[in-house]
Amino acid sequence: MASAALLKPLLLNFLLTERCYDRFFLEFNLLDVPCLKLLLSKVLGLGIIAGSVMVKLPQILKIKRAKSTEGLSFKSVLLEMLSITGSMVYGIRNHFPFSSWGEALFLMLQTLTIAFLIQRYGGRTDKGVMCLLLYFSMLSVLLSPLTPLVGVTFLQALNMPAIIVSRLIQILTNYRNGHTGQLSALTVFLLFGGSLARIFTSIQETGDQLMILTYVVASSFNGVIASQVLYYWKVTAHKDQKTD
Given a contact cutoff of 8 angstroms between Cβ atoms, the answer to whether 161 and 81 are in contact is no
Given a contact cutoff of 8 angstroms between Cβ atoms, the answer to whether 55 and 107 are in contact is yes
CA separation for the pair 94, 86 (Å, rounded): 12
State the Cα torsion 106-107-109-112 to the nearest 10°.
Answer: 180
pLDDT tens series, the chain, 244 aa: 444 455 666 666 667 777 887 887 777 878 888 888 888 888 887 888 887 788 888 889 989 998 888 878 888 888 889 888 988 999 999 888 887 788 889 989 999 999 999 999 988 999 999 999 999 999 999 999 999 999 998 888 888 888 888 889 889 988 888 888 778 888 889 889 888 988 888 888 788 888 888 889 989 999 999 999 999 887 777 665 555 5
Phi, psi of 72 (to 5 degrees): -105, 135
